[in-house]
A and B are shown apart, each in its own frame.
Chain A
Amino acid sequence: MSKAAKSVILYHRSYRKISGSAGLFFLQFLFIALPLSLIIALFYPEITLFVCRIAKAALSTCFPVDAVKIIAAPYVIGEISIIHLPSQFPSVLNSLINAIVCLILLVCLPKIEMAKPIVTFCMVVVFINFVSSLFFLFFAYRFPYELADYSVLYMKQQIGIWFFVPVIMGFAMLPLPSTLLSKSITMLITVFYSLLFGTVRYVVFLFILSKVSMLYMAILFFVFGPLVDFIYIVGIYSIHAMRLAEKIKGDFGFWKWSY
């Protein structure tokens, strides 16, 4: 069929809209997103214990069995479990080498022919590591964290992430005109992925801080922390939205006009 012989002319994109309302959205949010967050809020002691057991099993292959301990720490209405491992503080030489390398990179990176966002990202990573190196070089005795403290910090942050993932996904997805079932499944997948990702990242971070150096704690916290979580949150949302856009393309009954 030629373009001139279209059997259906769809509404122009400028003023088309879909049926729905803010009230319906809030109802869905109340009954789908909030319960998921509540589950995290009510069961975080069990969740963190489960995460720690997996982390312990993974880390036991690299550390002596009695070096990896699960301990409890108080948090809001209960206790969270965390992994306790010995800290690996950097030597003066290590800090000095890190500081010099970072300084050289800070000077050289802007001159490298590379996409600016990547240069900017690298500059931020290097700058944070530079600050961390200087701190350990001059004020190592004032560094406020042992690995156990970081473990607590990570786990609390992770609970925050797990709690907010359904909230963010709820805000992003529930207004969309896909079925309630598909939206709920997508939100559940995101929460499970977040649990899995948070666990794997925990193991990797603990390994780095205990085996390599505590000097990298700042980078891990600031650069590879919550910012990275947004990549999969937005990624999963985009897959859902893309499939929806494909499905409703050309569906005349689906679109409403202006009012």
Chain B
Amino acid sequence: MVILILKAYLLVFIGVMVFYFIRHFIFTLNRLFYEQRMCYQDIIDSDLKTISILIPMHNEEKVATNILDLLVESDYDKDKIEVIPINDFSEDRTREIIDDYGERYPFIKPLHRCKGERGKPAALNEALAGATGEIIIVFDADYLPPKGILKSIAVCFNDPEVGAAMGRVIPVNTRRNILTRLLDLERTGGYQVDQQARYNLKLMPQYGGTVGGFRRKEVIQLGGFNLRILAEDTELTYRLSINGWKVIYANRAECYEEVPETWSVRARQIQRWSRGHNEVMFAYFFPLLKSSHLSFREKFDGIFLLLVYVVPVILLTGLVDSLVLFFLGEMEIFSGIFFLVFIGAYNTFGNFAPFYQVGTACILDGAIHRILLLPFLIFNFLFNMWYISKGFFAAVIDTVTRRKAGWHKTERFRQAGSKGHVS
């Protein structure tokens, strides 16, 4: 009986992997050959909406001036924007830096937080309460927004159905080391093919919490950001979607970010993402299925997206399962299928996207030599599996015990005073 259960689990595991394989293959074909759904960046609107740009900052002295300088240079009508850099319990020079900008530019309105809850969701909620823009656009402090990106995002909200819009994220420090190069591949596959194909297919593109915007009043009416959930971006995606709002993706709205340069920082980041994403999964699995605002295909894709950070756990347990079957002498019937397991596993979680999806994205991007790094994605295979699984179990404990997760900021690597040039 035990052996039967172990074998059945292995088959379920293989089935899940094959599903993800097919899903990503459909995305790849769609992005390569079929009509690309453009976002609204070509609309010229003389009556731009008022926007509030929120930049949560916790000890961001290395990067704060870069983003503020770039927002000052933005081509958006300065009468219609307010920039709110949120000093969230910083202990470095962040306060002085943003106060200095506040004195020099009337549309920059620093917000200092020294009491109450820490963390991005709490900071955003407090800033939301005082913001006046119709649209909220959020950037993390390490981002380098180009001149026209505010218009590209804000114009999306001329469509009354749009609740949130997400732009494309591109690493600025790609050439730093092998990790940053691999993360660049991950982002390329994830945005150029995955997000765009999901937008093309009218599935569920994800609002990523930065380089994106949402409607202020409507989000406040929906309760603002949930302080108990680490992945406030994924949570907002699902909350808006199940309440009938569309989340859209603007591939042309490109913005540069700094990706982690050390594996330790990456491990903490991905563990935190997994924990937050899985908290959302536990909270929204059934509400998603029950929502009357979503089509079948949106729900189907929404489930796949919710389970993205569960699959590495299934993979890990699948490997343990295989190990047990091996010592019980029961692996033989799976010997051929076992390879299929690895196809799915590697394809899906070598890098959150299969190698062919990343390769296709690089070709579309016109990136050439970085494609040769694809075999190195093998580095991510066990690494991702382990740290995502740790995040998953933390989320299980959070959900069961109602424990509240603490927020940990991703370490920055840019030298203070550096412009953060694109490489």
Seen from chain A, the residues whose Cβ lies within 8 Å of a Cβ on chain B are: 12-22, 25, 115-118, 120-121, 124, 128, 131, 135, 143-145, 149, 152-153, 156-157, 159-161, 163-164, 168, 171-173, 175-176, 218, 221-222, 225-227, 229-232, 234-235, 237-239, 241-242, 244-246, 248-249, 258-259
Whether the Cβ atoms of A145 and B383 lie closer than 8 Å is: no
A116-B264, A221-B326, A238-B359 given; A160·B335 CB < 8 A: yes
Q: Shortest distance in angstroms between A186's beta carbon and chain B's nearest beta carbon?
A: 13
Is B252 interfacial (CB 8 A cutoff)?
A: yes
Q: Shortest distance in angstroms between B191's beta carbon and chain A's nearest beta carbon?
A: 10
Most interface-central of B32, B34, B328 (chain A CB within 10 A): B32
A175-B29, A238-B359, A245-B371 given; A226·B383 CB < 8 A: no
Most interface-central of B28, B168, B335 (chain A CB within 10 A): B335
Whether the Cβ atoms of B378 and A159 lie closer than 8 Å is: no
Whether the Cβ atoms of B366 and A249 lie closer than 8 Å is: yes
Is B251 interfacial (CB 8 A cutoff)?
A: yes
Whether the Cβ atoms of A131 and B339 lie closer than 8 Å is: no
- In the bound complex, residues from chain A placing their C-beta under 8 Å from that of B336 are 156-157, 159-160, 163
A17-B364, A245-B366 given; A230·B263 CB < 8 A: no
State A152–B331 Cα separation when bound (angstroms): 11
A124 interface neighbour in B328, B350, B382, Cβ under 8 Å:
B382
Binds A, one of B47-55, B293-301, B340-348, B410-418: B340-348
In addition to A237-B374, A245-B362, 12 A-B residue pairs with Cβ atoms within 8 Å of each other are: A13-B365, A20-B33, A22-B29, A116-B263, A116-B383, A172-B354, A172-B355, A175-B360, A176-B360, A229-B342, A230-B346, A234-B377
- In the bound complex, residues from chain A placing their C-beta under 8 Å from that of B263 are 115-117
Interface size class of B (residues with CB under 8 A): 35 or more
9 interchain residue pairs of minimum CB distance: A144-B329, A160-B336, A172-B356, A116-B263, A156-B335, A238-B374, A117-B379, A117-B383, A14-B252
Within 8 A of A (CB), among B288-337: 319, 322-323, 326-329, 331-332, 335-337
- In the bound complex, residues from chain A placing their C-beta under 8 Å from that of B251 are 14-15
Whether the Cβ atoms of B33 and A241 lie closer than 8 Å is: no
Whether the Cβ atoms of B356 and A171 lie closer than 8 Å is: yes
Is B206 interfacial (CB 8 A cutoff)?
A: no
Most interface-central of B323, B355, B382 (chain A CB within 10 A): B382
Whether the Cβ atoms of B366 and A175 lie closer than 8 Å is: no
Whether the Cβ atoms of A237 and B355 lie closer than 8 Å is: yes
B375 interface neighbour in A144, A221, A238, Cβ under 8 Å:
A238
A20-B32, A226-B339 given; A120·B364 CB < 8 A: no
- In the bound complex, residues from chain A placing their C-beta under 8 Å from that of B35 are 258-259
Seen from chain B, the residues whose Cβ lies within 8 Å of a Cβ on chain A are: 25, 28-29, 31-36, 38, 168, 192, 251-252, 254, 263-264, 266-267, 319, 322-323, 326-329, 331-332, 335-340, 342-343, 346, 350, 354-356, 359-360, 362-369, 371-375, 377-383, 386
State A80–B32 Cα separation when bound (angstroms): 41
- In the bound complex, residues from chain A placing their C-beta under 8 Å from that of B252 are 12, 14-15
- In the bound complex, residues from chain A placing their C-beta under 8 Å from that of B36 are 15-17, 258-259
Chief secondary structure at chain B's binding surface: helix
Whether the Cβ atoms of B343 and A164 lie closer than 8 Å is: yes
A168-B343, A172-B359 given; A234·B368 CB < 8 A: no
Whether the Cβ atoms of A22 and B339 lie closer than 8 Å is: no
A164-B340, A171-B356, A238-B359 given; A258·B375 CB < 8 A: no
Whether the Cβ atoms of A245 and B363 lie closer than 8 Å is: yes
Name the residue of chain B whose CB is nearest to the CB of A155: B335
Whether the Cβ atoms of B368 and A246 lie closer than 8 Å is: yes
Most interface-central of A163, A221, A234, A235 (chain B CB within 10 A): A234
- In the bound complex, residues from chain A placing their C-beta under 8 Å from that of B29 are 22, 25, 175
Whether the Cβ atoms of A160 and B338 lie closer than 8 Å is: yes
- In the bound complex, residues from chain B placing their C-beta under 8 Å from that of A124 are 382
State A25–B356 Cα separation when bound (angstroms): 14
Whether the Cβ atoms of A171 and B338 lie closer than 8 Å is: no
Whether the Cβ atoms of A16 and B377 lie closer than 8 Å is: no
- In the bound complex, residues from chain B placing their C-beta under 8 Å from that of A116 are 263-264, 266-267, 383
State A242–B343 Cα separation when bound (angstroms): 22
Q: Shortest distance in angstroms between A87's beta carbon and chain B's nearest beta carbon?
A: 14
State A131–B20 Cα separation when bound (angstroms): 31
Whether the Cβ atoms of B338 and A242 lie closer than 8 Å is: no
Whether the Cβ atoms of A222 and B335 lie closer than 8 Å is: no
- In the bound complex, residues from chain A placing their C-beta under 8 Å from that of B354 are 172
Q: Shortest distance in angstroms between A15's beta carbon and chain B's nearest beta carbon?
A: 4
Whether the Cβ atoms of B368 and A242 lie closer than 8 Å is: yes
State A8–B10 Cα separation when bound (angstroms): 54
A117 interface neighbour in B356, B364, B367, B382, Cβ under 8 Å:
B382
- In the bound complex, residues from chain B placing their C-beta under 8 Å from that of A12 are 252
Whether the Cβ atoms of A242 and B371 lie closer than 8 Å is: yes
- In the bound complex, residues from chain B placing their C-beta under 8 Å from that of A227 are 342, 346, 378, 381
- In the bound complex, residues from chain A placing their C-beta under 8 Å from that of B338 are 157, 160, 225-226
Name the residue of chain B whose CB is nearest to the CB of A242: B371
State A186–B49 Cα separation when bound (angstroms): 53
Name the residue of chain A whose CB is nearest to the CB of B355: A234
Whether the Cβ atoms of B33 and A152 lie closer than 8 Å is: no
- In the bound complex, residues from chain A placing their C-beta under 8 Å from that of B365 are 13
Name the residue of chain B whose CB is nearest to the CB of A250: B366
Name the residue of chain B whose CB is nearest to the CB of A232: B375
